[in-house]
Structure 1
C-alpha cells in the first residue's frame, strides 16, 4: 500500500454520523483536503434503489467539486456505506468506479479504502 489517506478522528466521527443518519439507505459523500482530509462533504443519494446502491446527486456533486477547487482543496476520496454488508467493493462498485481517487466503504465490519476498479486496498491513517 504505497498510497495512504490521512484522516483526523473527528472527521471519521463526522462521516460515521452522516452515514448513520442515512441508514438504512446507503450514504455517499466526499473527503477533501490537501495532505490530509480537511472536509467531509455529505451528498444526497438519488439512486433509484438507495437501500442497495448510491448515486451522488449530480448538481450537488458539481457544486461541491467547484467549491473545493475555489478553496484550493483536492478531492481525496469518495465514501459510501454498505449498511447491511461488509466494507468490501460490490460488483456494482467495481463496475461503476470512474474516479481515480480511493473509494472508502463503510460496512457492518468497519471501513476500508480501495482504488477501484482494480481493488487495491489503500491504507487509512487515523490522526
Structure 2
C-alpha cells in the first residue's frame, strides 16, 4: 500500500506549512477533553508538494488517556491516499492534561517488539490543557528507536481562520 510508505520525516521537518499544523492543532483542541488523532498526508515532491490533514475518530476504549484509529476509517484514509497518490507523512495525537511526550505506550503502539510499523513517518504529540494546545513534540524513528524533539507552538499558533 503506497500510502503507508510515508513521506519521510525529513520532509516533515523542513517543509510542513504552518497552516497544516494549525489545522491539526484546531482538531486536537476540538477533541478535548478526549485525545484527538489523525494523520498528515503528502503528495508530490519538493516545494510543489501538497499537504492534507485528515482527522480520525478516536476509537480507544479509554479516549481520555489513549488513542486508536478505528479500522474502517483508517482503511478508507489509506485507500483515498493511494487513489490521490499521497503518502502518510505524520501520525498525530494529543495528550489531555499531560505532557507532550512520546510516551512508552505511544512507543509500544508505533513499534511493537521494537519494530517500527511506519519507520518513515513522524509522530507529533500535542499537550492540550483546558482545551488549549500548550506544547508539542515530534518523534522520528532513527537507528532502532524513536528520537523526540520539542516543537515550538509559536511557530504554528495562528488566530485567523484557516
Whether TM-score is above 0.5 comes out as yes
Q: What is the TM-score normalised by the length of structure 2?
A: 0.69
Which residue in 1 is equivalent to 2:126? 106
Deviation of 1:121 after TM superposition, in Å, equals: 3.0
Q: What is the TM-score normalised by the length of structure 1?
A: 0.86
Segment drifting more, 115-124 vs 9-18: 115-124
For 2:145, what is the secondary structure of its paired residue? coil
1:1-127 to 2 correspondences below 5 Å: 3-5=10-12, 6-34=15-43, 35=45, 38-97=51-110, 98-100=117-119, 101-108=121-128, 109-116=134-141, 118-121=145-148
String of CA shifts for 1:72-120, please: whole Å, max 9, x gaps.
1111010000121111111100111132211111115421210257221
Bigger helix share: 2
The 1-side partners of 2:50 and 2:106 are apart by 22
| Structure 1 residue ranges (4+ consecutive) displaced by more than 4 angstroms after TM superposition | none
Question: Number of paired residues?
Answer: 126
The 1-side partners of 2:78 and 2:149 are apart by 22
For 1:3, what is the secondary structure of its paired residue? helix
For 1:16, what is the secondary structure of its paired residue? helix
Check the 8 A contact 1:27/1:80 in 2, yes or no: yes
